[in-house]
Structure 1
């Protein structure tokens, strides 16, 4: 069951990287001081990346918990 823990930890780290990526891109858009419509256009593609990264990280953490409980 240790393999579940390692796979889950890797998934959580990849999800965290996706979250940090979307955070950096959003802060870059904020620093650009765009108007509302341009800001919305810049942030729109980041929403699915952010949600997917949170989901991937959550599933990874669930795998870690399952691996620890079964061990």
Structure 2
């Protein structure tokens, strides 16, 4: 079950990197001084990346917990 734990940790880390990417991208857009509509469009473009990364991170954490329970 060690393989399940470590692969889950890697998947969770991948999701965390995606979350950090989306945070950095939105922070750059906010500093750009765009208008309200442009800012809203940019944040809406980042939202699928944010939600997908959150889903991947949760799956990784579920793999880790499953590996701990089975191991």
TM-score normalised to structure 2 length: 0.96
The aligned counterpart of 2:67 is 67
The aligned counterpart of 2:2 is 2
1:40-64: CA deviations, max 9, x gaps? Answer: 1211110000000000000000000
Q: Which moved more, 1:46-55 or 1:35-44?
A: 35-44
User: Quick one: distance in 2 between partners of 1:70 and 1:38?
Assistant: 49
1:1-45: CA deviations, max 9, x gaps? Answer: 111101100000000000000000000011011111010121111
User: Quick one: distance in 2 between partners of 1:40 and 1:29?
Assistant: 10
Q: How many residues align?
A: 71
The aligned counterpart of 1:43 is 43
Runs of 4+ in 1 over 4 A off after TM superposition: none
User: Quick one: distance in 1 between partners of 2:55 and 2:42?
Assistant: 22
The aligned counterpart of 1:31 is 31
User: Which consecutive residues of structure 1, in runs of 5 or more, have no partner in the other structure?
Assistant: none
User: Which consecutive residues of structure 2, in runs of 5 or more, have no partner in the other structure?
Assistant: none
